[in-house]
């Protein structure tokens, strides 16, 4: 993982377990109606990839490559020795290389068409995030990018799981990446009323399920996971963090930005994931919530979780620390859920001071809780009414 919490998995996990908010005023957003963001300041693509390689890649893709290399190394896999035809790449991203589009549009407007980079299209096309990772890792199997708004990373994991289930691959490198801290995106979300404006106290800007929440904090991140067929993993003695046991998806088929107030579409996705995992709601010990810190989303999700799962699971929302990384968020949260299953620790929801009384759930706050977690649910919901849910179980 690469997040505002840290440039790798260990430091991101530490920040999330400590409940350490990362929201800050970002100088690059000066002049925007909202200047708050969760920026991965410790990540330097030039330093990690080399300046010559990095300048050909959008920052979103740079993050995906570095996170992908970390994931593959952690899995004990060597691209030089694997059968690349049996390795796929499926990544999620809502906006792709939007940073490149913004920069090159500014250049067009100020300097003219002759100054546009000839690499603009390959740097900005969403599919090139997966394409570049596939090239970097010599993965010659199916390669694609899913774009289901803020559910994109979770959708990617579901598609990747299906490739394994249908024996199209032995291994799929999957997850999500997003870097969209640019003027056009921030201004648009601000105009839509989606962003927190709590600039006086940035640490309380992202506060999922809090009674005083007022919007999300935009973030950048990448999270890459290695999904592997169980037989293939056992044959090589792989370290297993968790099993991806269930996946479900649905559409609200309603408003383009507002969630269904009762979470009916989200409920269909969650119930589908539970059926796929062959688990009953009572067997879910932990919910890693979408928890954006917006008034409508948190209330709809809270009602849905209480109705479908019940009040017994420990709930957390990582966006209190990481902010909302749009298409990467579901992948970040799936990775954090896998780490919860491995370490048996449920992180707190940073920024949460007083839980909204309309959210009748056990939302962890203050400090992490050491609890037995055998099965967990990770939710993601996006504009367009696109819902996706994963059930992860302990290895």
Angle, helices 59-74/98-111, rounded to nearest 10 degrees: 160
290 catalytic? Reply is yes
Cα 196 to Cα 102, 105, 358: the distances in Å are 23, 27, 20
286 catalytic? Reply is no
Query: CA–CA separation, 199 vs 97, rounded Å?
Result: 27
Query: CA–CA separation, 139 vs 230, rounded Å?
Result: 19
DSSP code of residue 197: -
Question: Tokens 């030039």 belong to which residue?
Answer: 46
Strand 369-370, strand 345-346: pairing: antiparallel
Active-site position among 38, 60, 169, 290: 290
Question: Tokens 């648009």 belong to which residue?
Answer: 188
150 catalytic? Reply is yes
| Angle, CA of 250, 251 and 257, to the nearest 5° | 135
Active-site position among 38, 60, 150, 169: 150
Using alpha carbons, select from 147, 146, 387 the residue that is nearest to residue 269: 387
Instruction: Residue count of the chain, please give it.
Output: 395
Using alpha carbons, select from 349, 138, 328, 128 the residue that is nearest to residue 225: 328
Using alpha carbons, select from 75, 71, 180 the residue that is nearest to residue 136: 71
Active-site position among 38, 60, 286, 324: 324
- The residues that are catalytic are 150, 290, 324
């Amino acid at each position: 993982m690469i997040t505002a919490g840290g440039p790798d998995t260990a430091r991101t996990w530490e920040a999330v377990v400590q409940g350490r908010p990362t929201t800050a005023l970002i100088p690059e957003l000066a002049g925007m109606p909202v200047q708050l963001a969760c920026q991965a300041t410790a990540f330097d693509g030039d330093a990690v990839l080399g300046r010559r390689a990095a300048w050909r890649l959008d920052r979103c893709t740079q993050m995906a490559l570095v996170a992908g290399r970390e994931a593959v190394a952690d899995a004990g896999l060597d691209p030089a020795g694997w059968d690349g035809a049996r390795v796929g790449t499926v990544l999620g991203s809502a906006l792709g290389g939007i940073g490149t589009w913004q920069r090159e549009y500014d250049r067009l407007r100020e300097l003219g068409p002759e100054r546009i980079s000839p690499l603009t299209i390959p740097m900005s096309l969403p599919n090139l995030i997966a394409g570049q990772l596939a090239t970097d890792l010599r993965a010659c199997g199916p390669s694609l990018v899913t774009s289901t708004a803020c559910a994109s990373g979770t959708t990617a994991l579901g598609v990747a799981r299906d490739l394994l289930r249908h024996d199209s691959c032995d291994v799929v490198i999957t997850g999500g990446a997003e870097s969209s801290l640019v003027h056009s995106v921030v201004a648009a979300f601000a105009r839509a009323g989606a962003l927190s404006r709590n600039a006086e106290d940035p640490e309380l800007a992202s506060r999922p399920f809090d009674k005083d929440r007022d919007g999300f904090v935009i973030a950048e991140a990448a999270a890459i996971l290695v999904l592997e067929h169980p037989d293939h993993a056992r044959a090589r003695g792989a370290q297993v963090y968790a099993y991806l046991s269930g996946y479900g998806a649905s559409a609200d088929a309603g408003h383009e930005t507002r969630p269904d107030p009762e979470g009916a579409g989200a409920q269909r996705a969650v119930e589908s994931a539970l059926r796929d995992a062959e688990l009953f709601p009572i067997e879910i010990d932990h919910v890693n919530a979408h928890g954006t810190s917006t008034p409508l989303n948190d209330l709809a999700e809270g009602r849905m979780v209480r109705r479908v799962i019940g009040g017994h699971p420990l709930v957390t929302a990582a966006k209190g620390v990481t902010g909302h990384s749009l298409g990467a968020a579901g992948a970040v949260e799936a990775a954090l859920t896998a780490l919860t299953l491995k370490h048996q620790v449920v992180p707190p929801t940073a920024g949460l001071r007083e839980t909204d009384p309309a959210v009748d759930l056990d939302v962890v706050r203050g400090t992490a809780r050491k609890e037995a977690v055998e099965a967990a649910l990770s939710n993601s919901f996006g504009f367009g009414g696109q819902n996706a849910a994963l059930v992860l179980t302990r290895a």
